[in-house]
Amino acid sequence: MSQEFRGSYTVTITPFTEDRSAIDYAAWQRFLDWQLQVGVPGIIILGTTGEFLTISDAERRAFVDATVKHVAGRIPVMVGSMNAYTPNAVRYSKEAQDLGADGLMIAPPYYYTPTEDEIFNYYRAINEAVAIPIMLYNNPVTTNVDMSSKLVTRMTNNLENIRYIKEASQDVGRIHDIVDETQGLMNVFAGERIVESFLLGAVGYVNPYGNYIPLASTKIWDYLVEGRIEDAKKIQRLISKFDHIIAAGHPTYGHQCYSKALAGAVGYPVGDVRDPITTFRALGEEGHQRLSEIMAVIRELDALMIELGGKRAAA
């Protein structure tokens, strides 16, 4: 397992055609070229932002294949391969590896609220089926499972491919616990609170904002590594405003809906979300008002990015 992941990885949308019946590959190639041009260090497809639960098996295989081929080794491509049924998660993971994925991001079995032994056995089955790095995805809000630092340490010590975790438990102190208890063997990617996570030992960031401000959300991590902590804080203060605007609406609108609308607003249309998530179109005036508010913040961010480095937030 020679691949090393570092920096701010865009966890991407999945682009759909106008009627949402199919993946829009022309839009996807434009989107990927944008990410590459800006200098995003890696992408993660078919995560929560990528609406993985709405993707058929045939779509999954074709999408992974097309992504790997288009990126062509220029940056790492990680694939979300979680499923509530262990054999499906194993199958998705092995398929992604066979198609050329560089790594996997895998949440624990959702809905069932499994025990720690059940979670361990799930990941062990996947670990035994692949030879590429696995990033655990700890997101209790969506999975109803909170993987403790003790469990993460157990998996790190016993499963050789598990060396990364997206820590999104909303307990930023967990990052320190994981790094400490695994003696630095586990590489933590922030799921939120970017600056604080870095200062506690995170090595990267799983980043939904890269879908519409890829330069700014990439540079924030670069600045942290360079020691430009105050500059990173300035970016984070503006990014945090996006969350407040979005969260003021119905929670199921979420980042999927607005990430797609905002990608379109900055020049990269990628369609709308699939059911059951509320579409941006269905939001009507409310959606356009929130979009307008977020675009105003993006203009603030543009001015800041030009001041800091000479390029706009979306580049």
Q: String of b and e for 258-292 (b: at least 16 CB within 10 Å)?
A: bbbbbbbbbebbbbbbbeebbbbeebeeebeebbe
CA angle 264, 31, 59 (to 5 degrees): 100
> What is the distance between the alpha carbons of residues 191 and 168, in angstroms, rounded to a whole number?
4
Contacts of 271 (CB under 8 A, 6+ apart): 15, 16, 17, 18, 20, 24, 27, 260
Q: In whole angstroms, what separates CA 202 from the centre of its chain?
A: 15
Check 137, 164, 209, 223 and give the catalytic one: 137
234 is catalytic: no
166 is catalytic: yes
> What is the distance between the alpha carbons of residues 77 and 148, in angstroms, rounded to a whole number?
27
> What is the distance between the alpha carbons of residues 298 and 211, in angstroms, rounded to a whole number?
13
Amino acid making up residue 40 = V
CA angle 131, 132, 136 (to 5 degrees): 115
Check 9, 166, 258, 260 and give the catalytic one: 166
Strand partners, 188: 165
| Residues catalogued as catalytic | 137, 166
